[in-house]
């Protein structure tokens, strides 16, 4: 078998492939587009398209597809053959620059949250040359943005790219003040993807998993995760085979899958690739998720990517590691010398200010129906945003706020009284797993995103908010005399840290005490999607997105609508599945078992009237009581479900689902789960948690 180096990137139109397939001058122009965002003219695009086609066909591709991310969150692709009939029954292989650069899918079948009514129905896809094209199942996939004809973003990628431009622009202004002129500042992202693997045959027998991605019923297993034996445990053979094939497929696509291990919950695992530019990281993550699903099927497995497939068992997140890179220098690296420290502190304080100012928006960016089961339950970060800095950095912030730090007037060097910052690198083992936003040495780890979400939104909000704070710093400091700059910058940092100190928290984020403390500090606590989403359309959010040229008001509103609608639709599907399963799967089986017990009772009694049958009688009573309780709960759920569906306003409907329907769902579930412990195994209609979680 070829070595890892040869296997890596064979199916991606990488820099190496470009060099091999493109004339030198075209290669140089394409690189300028990729690295500096320079426009690409059609002559160059034609040559690139031809080269891409040759490269792809040599690797078995027959089609190309513009690969994009509509607001539905799934990825979309329409395959076009590289064919052009030339008459006489013949055809030639063809792929033009125009076909590479722009596509015209019909936009009318994708969610647009009202944008279509305001603007044109047609949409177009535009090549994102900064994310490399790759071959997937004989199709050359070209990462693209998806917009309406009047330029409104209809997808997740466009705003992310715009937010990356915003951060590039504002960070460069700040760096200029420090005498630096990098070519490009980019947010770098590494997403840790958590997932579950279960057997296909179990999955097929659980309509709730098939339809909603999570178990709507199921009593806790006899053994959960309390023995703490799964995390980092030896990987079992079937899972190992799955992981090996997955790694191979991802490596071929140029995705540097690096870390894999068992996670905390039984049947739960994680994969983390090496970080890269934010837009590429998002594209890679979407491919990783898709590959996980298809590769699992080769091993008789199903990959569950829902945030909470099993109640009472840890859910899955997607930790989004984030940093800023200026021509490969990490701006969140504290640096080894006091000269570098002031600049680091400026960037750090801007991130802290951004997270505090826009905490509700960040929370909203990860709000989904599935993630509501995670945030706020005692496992994932809470729904309240706070920042964990670690001991050393907290100490440093404290000194600045207390006025104990100074800048030497002569050469602008920061003095914190002791050599605190250079020691930071060693401090990154000091983890706080309960924090939603933690500094881990030279990057921040945003732990709120759910496992199945497209992290474009979270990164777009983070980038935009940080860009805005960097812009504020630059506004305040531009024009300041060089001799005064150091002191003035430190004074700005001091003020900003003082203003935003409330967001810093190093304690246990799960504790009740923190919830109370957070409320005293005035931090937002938005437990459900219905509560969180309105943060998108506040004056402050609209102003942020518009001022940074990331989203127009119409674009923000459309996203808000789409997210709300999606929440309502998912909830509706869950309720319908629940009702159907209760009525058609559980009730008939519990009744059948009750009937069997009743018949047994009657038979024994008639043969032996004096027989002691009290426990059989008690069981029968319990079963019949359960049937009644389930029926009552079914009716109650159906009623409140009807009420929700009758509401015409999407936001009101979402609130009704979040605060009235969910409690009714919980109640029905509890009644059914209570029966799981008493109904004979042979009568129980679906695989249980014990069956599903321990046998892969």
Positions touching Mg ion (CB under 5 A) are: 192
**Stretch of residues binding ligand ADP (CB under 6 A), selected from 26-34, 146-154, 223-231, 315-323:** 315-323
Left if phi > 0, otherwise alpha if psi is -120 to 50, otherwise beta: which for 327? left
* Residue 628 CB neighbour total at 10 angstroms: 11
Residue 297 C-beta: closest distance to ligand ADP, Å: 25
Determine the Cα–Cα distance for residues 492 and 480; give it in Å rounded to an integer: 12
Tell me 153's DSSP state: B
275 interacts with ligand ADP by CB under 6 A: yes
Partner whose binding site includes residue 275, from ligand ADP, Mg ion, none (CB under 5 to 8 Å by kind)? ligand ADP
Q: How far is Cα of residue 377 from the mean position of the Cα atoms in its chain?
A: 18
Picked from ligand ADP, Mg ion, none, the partner binding residue 148 (CB below 5 to 8 A depending on kind) is none
Q: How far is the CB of 443 from ligand ADP (least distance, A)?
A: 4
Question: What is the distance between the alpha carbons of residues 223 and 132, in angstroms, rounded to a whole number?
Answer: 45
Instruction: For residues 180 and 81, give the distance between their C-alpha atoms in angstroms, rounded to a whole number.
Output: 48
Contact with ligand ADP (CB under 6 A) among 442, 495, 552, 591: 442
Q: Which does 189 bind (CB under 5 to 8 A by kind): Mg ion, ligand ADP, none?
A: ligand ADP
Q: Provide CB contacts within 8 A for 234, sequence distance 6+.
A: none
CB of 495 to Mg ion, least distance (A): 36
**Cα dist. 690→226, 300, 496, 517, 534 in Å?**
14, 19, 52, 39, 40
Could you say which of ligand ADP, Mg ion, none residue 323 binds, taking C-beta under 5 to 8 angstroms by partner kind?
A: ligand ADP
Distance (Å, whole) CA 3 – CA 193: 26
Does 194 help bind ligand ADP (rule: CB under 6 A)? no
Taking the chain, what is the end-to-end CA distance rounded to the nearest angstrom? Answer: 28
Select from 7-15, 225-233, 267-275, 668-676 the region that touches ligand ADP (CB under 6 A): 267-275
321 lies in the site for ligand ADP, by CB under 6 A: yes
Query: In this structure, are residues 650 and 568 in contact, taking their beta carbons and an 8 Å threshold?
Result: yes
Closest-by-Cβ residue to Mg ion is 192
> Is residue 323 a contact point for ligand ADP (CB under 6 A)?
yes
Report CA Rg, the chain.
28
- β-pair partners for 103: 125
DSSP 314-345: ---BEEEEEEEEETTEETT---SSHHHHHHHH
Question: Does the protein bind ligand ADP through residue 192 (CB under 6 A)?
Answer: yes
**Tokens 């060089």 label which residue?**
482
Q: How far is the CB of 270 from Mg ion (least distance, A)?
A: 5
Binding test (CB under 6 A) with ligand ADP, winner from 172, 214, 443, 559: 443
Q: Binding ligand ADP by CB under 6 A: which of 83, 91, 274, 409?
A: 274
Given a contact cutoff of 8 angstroms between Cβ atoms, the answer to whether 428 and 442 are in contact is yes
Does position 188 bind ligand ADP by CB under 6 A? yes
Choose among ligand ADP, Mg ion, none what residue 505 binds, the Cβ cut-off being 5 to 8 Å by kind. none
* The two three-digit tokens of residue 186, written as one number: 């980019």
- Provide the b/e sequence for 387-419 (b: ≥16 CB within 10 Å): bbbbebbeebbebbbeeebbbeeeebbbebeee
Which of Mg ion, ligand ADP, none binds 83 (CB below 5-8 Å, type-dependent)? Answer: none
Size of the site for ligand ADP (CB under 6 A): 16
Nearest CB to ligand ADP, comparing residues 442 and 549: 442
Given the complex with ligand ADP, which of 174 and 332 has the nearer CB atom? 332
Sign of the Cα pseudo-torsion (538, 539, 545, 549, in order)? positive
544 binds, among ligand ADP, Mg ion, none (CB under 5 to 8 A by kind): none
425 near ligand ADP (CB under 6 A): no
H-type helices in 308-425, by residue range?
338-357, 359-365, 391-401
Please tell me whether residue 344 binds ligand ADP under the rule CB under 6 A: no
Among 322, 439, 567, 593, binds ligand ADP (CB under 6 A): 322
Residues 370-389, interacting with ligand ADP (CB under 6 A): none
Q: 155 or 263, CB closer to Mg ion?
A: 263
274 binds, among Mg ion, ligand ADP, none (CB under 5 to 8 A by kind): ligand ADP
By CB under 6 A, residue 155 contacts ligand ADP: no
**Distance (Å, whole) CA 213 – CA 215:** 7
Least distance from ligand ADP to the Cβ atom of residue 189, Å: 6
Instruction: By CB under 6 A, tell whether 170 contacts ligand ADP.
Output: no
Q: Which two tokens stand for residue 321?
A: 């590691």
Of these partners, ligand ADP, Mg ion, none, which one is at the site of residue 412 (CB under 5 to 8 Å by kind)? none
Angstrom CA distances, 661 to 69, 149, 369, 530, 636, stand at 31, 40, 13, 12, 9
Q: Which is nearer to ligand ADP, 330 or 525 (CB)?
A: 330
Structure tokens at 87: 């008459």
Task: Tell me the window of 182-190, 503-511, 584-592, 664-672 that interacts with ligand ADP (CB under 6 A).
Answer: 182-190
Alpha-carbon dihedral sign for residues 390, 391, 396, 400: positive
Residue with Cβ nearer ligand ADP (189 or 458)? 189
> Residues interacting with ligand ADP, by CB under 6 A?
188-190, 192, 259, 272-275, 321-323, 330, 442-443, 445
């Amino acid at each position: 078998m070829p070595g890892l180096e040869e296997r890596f990137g064979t199916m991606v139109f990488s820099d190496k492939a470009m060099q091999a397939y493109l004339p030198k001058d075209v290669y140089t122009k394409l690189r300028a587009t990729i690295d500096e965002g320079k426009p690409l003219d059609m002559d160059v695009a034609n040559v690139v398209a031809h080269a891409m086609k040759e490269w792809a066909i040599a690797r078995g591709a027959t089609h190309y597809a513009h690969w994009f991310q509509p607001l539905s969150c799934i990825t979309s692709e329409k395959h076009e053959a590289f064919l052009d009939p030339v008459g006489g029954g013949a055809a030639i292989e063809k792929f033009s620059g125009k076909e590479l650069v722009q596509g015209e899918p019909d936009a009318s079948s994708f969610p647009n949250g009202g944008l279509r009514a305001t603007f044109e129905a047609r949409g177009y896809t535009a090549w994102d040359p900064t994310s490399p094209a790759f071959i997937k199942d004989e199709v050359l996939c070209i990462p693209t943005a998806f917009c309406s004809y009047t330029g409104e973003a209809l997808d997740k990628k466009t705003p992310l790219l715009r937010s990356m431009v915003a951060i590039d622009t504002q960070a460069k202004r700040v760096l200029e003040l420090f005498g630096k002129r990098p070519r490009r500042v980019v947010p770098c992202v590494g997403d840790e993807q958590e997932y579950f693997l279960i057997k296909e045959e179990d999955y097929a027998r659980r309509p709730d998993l098939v339809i909603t991605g999570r178990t709507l019923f199921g009593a806790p297993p006899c053994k959960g995760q309390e023995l703490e034996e799964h995390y980092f445990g030896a990987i079992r053979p079937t899972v190992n085979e799955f992981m090996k094939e997955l790694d191979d497929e991802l490596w071929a696509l140029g995705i540097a899958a690096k870390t894999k291990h068992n996670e905390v919950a039984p049947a739960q695992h994680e994969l983390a690739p090496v970080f890269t530019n934010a837009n590429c990281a998002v594209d890679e993550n979407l491919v990783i998720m898709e590959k996980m699903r298809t590769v699992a099927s080769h091993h008789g497995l199903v990959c569950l990517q829902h945030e909470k497939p099993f109640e009472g068992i840890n859910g899955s997140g997607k930790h989004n590691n984030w940093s800023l890179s200026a021509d490969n220098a990490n701006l969140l690296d504290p640096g080894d010398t006091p000269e570098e420290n002031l600049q680091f502190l400026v960037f750090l304080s801007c991130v802290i200010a951004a997270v505090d100012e826009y905490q509700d928006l960040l929370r909203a960016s990860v709000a989904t129906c599935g993630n509501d089961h995670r945030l706020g339950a005692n496992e994932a970060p809470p729904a309240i945003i706070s920042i964990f800095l670690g001991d050393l950095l907290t100490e440093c912030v404290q000194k600045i706020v207390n006025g104990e730090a100074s800048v030497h007037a002569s050469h602008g060097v920061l003095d914190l009284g002791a050599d605190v910052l250079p020691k930071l690198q060693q401090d990154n083992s000091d983890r706080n797993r309960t924090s939603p936003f933690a500094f881990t040495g030279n990057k921040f780890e945003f732990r709120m995103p759910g496992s199945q979400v497209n992290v474009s939104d979270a990164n777009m909000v983070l980038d935009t908010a940080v860009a805005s704070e960097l812009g504020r710093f630059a506004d305040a400091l531009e024009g300041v005399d060089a001799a005064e700059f150091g002191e003035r910058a430190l004074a700005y940092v001091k003020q900003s840290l003082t203003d935003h100190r409330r967001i810093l928290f190093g304690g246990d984020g799960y504790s009740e005490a923190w919830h109370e403390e957070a409320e005293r500090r005035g931090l937002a606590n938005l437990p459900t999607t219905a509560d969180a989403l309105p943060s998108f359309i506040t004056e402050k959010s609209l102003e942020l997105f518009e001022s940074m040229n990331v989203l127009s008001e119409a674009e923000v509103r459309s996203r808000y609508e789409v997210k709300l609608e999606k929440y309502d639709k998912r909830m509706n599907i869950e309720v319908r599945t629940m009702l159907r399963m209760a009525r058609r799967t559980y009730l008939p089986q519990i009744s059948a078992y009750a009937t069997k017990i009743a018949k047994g009772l009657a038979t024994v009694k008639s043969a032996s009237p004096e027989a002691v049958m009290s426990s059989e009688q008690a069981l029968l009573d319990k079963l019949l009581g359960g049937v009644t309780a389930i029926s009552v709960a079914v009716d109650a759920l159906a009623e409140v479900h009807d009420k929700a569906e009758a509401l015409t306003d999407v936001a009101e409907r979402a609130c009704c689902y979040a605060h009235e329907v969910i409690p009714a769902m919980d109640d029905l579930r509890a009644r059914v789960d209570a029966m799981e412990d008493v109904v004979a195994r042979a009568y129980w209609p679906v695989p249980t948690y014990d069956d599903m979680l321990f046998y892969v």
